[in-house]
Amino acid sequence: MTVSTPFKAAVLVNSISAIDPAFRSAFQECISSACPGAQVDFFDPIEAQIYPEPAQYDLIVLSGGTADAMAKDIPWVLKMKDFLRTTVEKCPTQKILGICWGHQIINIAFGGMVGPMDRFEIGVTPITLTSTGSSFYSSYLPSTERYNIHEFHEREVKTPGKGFIALAEDNQSLVNTANTILTFQGHPEMSAELSRLLLRDTPKYMGVDAAEKKALEIRIDSPHDGIAIWKRIVQWTGEV
């Protein structure tokens, strides 16, 4: 598959909050760092419910969000699943990337299951690669065993979608057998600053004690592989 010049990415912003401009800026900066001169357009699938025309973009990105991806009574969530299935059917070579909530809704759309975790995972976290994942990321990461990525979630993929292969343990990163859909539970676009903004609006962490706050700060400020992962994503977009 040949990518456009400039590289064109469409980002579906799957949340509505006061910090959405910061999220959009983070995506713009990361994609542009990985591919200088990239064109990044943003779409609102919640209120406006406007979707990109796949043929106009090299990559369609589904961002994180807070809605229940398993819900059967949220119209825009159901429409998102229909969009994914229709795109795969009608545009079988289209590259799609799912991040956090996007990772979850993609797997649900193709027969997987998502459920609650026993904890809320926050901060830079080492993710162990499978042997397939080690090969997939081998030229981009400093380690062949793991990558470090910002996490911010309390649900996880329990069962991957049909035809998805694990690139990392615990369904943290998956790719489909057609090599057209790539997903991450973590946030390669996230920075320490953005993580703090999210944390500020998370009620359960507003009253934590000093020791827990310190531990969170250490995790949030730890080095991560976000840009290296984005470079791999851009390279993957051009693969058959």
Could you report the per-residue pLDDT of 98-130, keeping only the tens digit for each? 999 999 999 999 999 999 998 889 999 999 999
pLDDT surpassing 60 at residue 206: no
Q: What residue type is assigned to position 228 of the chain?
A: A
Please state at what angle helix 192-200 crosses helix 20-34, rounded to 10 degrees: 160
pLDDT surpassing 90 at residue 41: yes
pLDDT surpassing 70 at residue 203: no
Would you say residue 2 lies in a domain? no
Catalytic residue chosen out of the listed positions 100, 150, 156, 224 = 100
- 150 touches 190 (CB < 8 A): yes
Instruction: Assess whether 193 carries a catalytic annotation.
Output: no
Would you say residue 1 lies in a domain? no
Question: Distance between CA atoms of 182 and 128, rounded to whole angstroms?
Answer: 17
- In tens, the pLDDT along 55-67 reads 999 999 999 999 9
- 187 touches 149 (CB < 8 A): yes
Would you say residue 166 lies in a domain? yes
Would you say residue 114 lies in a domain? yes
Print the domain residue range for 100: 8-237
Instruction: Assess whether 150 carries a catalytic annotation.
Output: no
Catalytic residue chosen out of the listed positions 150, 153, 187, 224 = 187
CATH of the domain at 123: 3.40.50.880
Would you say residue 3 lies in a domain? no
| pTM of the predicted model as reported, rounded to 2 decimal places | 0.94
Query: How much is the average pLDDT of 166-171?
Result: 98
Would you say residue 151 lies in a domain? yes
Contacts of 216 (CB under 8 A, 6+ apart): 122, 123, 199, 205, 208
Residue-by-residue DSSP string for 145-206 = SEEEEEEEEEEEEEEPPTTEEESBGGGSEEEETTS-EEEESSBTT--HHHHHHHHHT-GGGT
- 215 touches 205 (CB < 8 A): no
Question: SS3 of 225, please?
Answer: coil
% the chain with pLDDT above 90: 82
Would you say residue 27 lies in a domain? yes
pLDDT surpassing 80 at residue 1: no
Instruction: Assess whether 187 carries a catalytic annotation.
Output: yes
Catalytic residue chosen out of the listed positions 30, 35, 153, 189 = 189
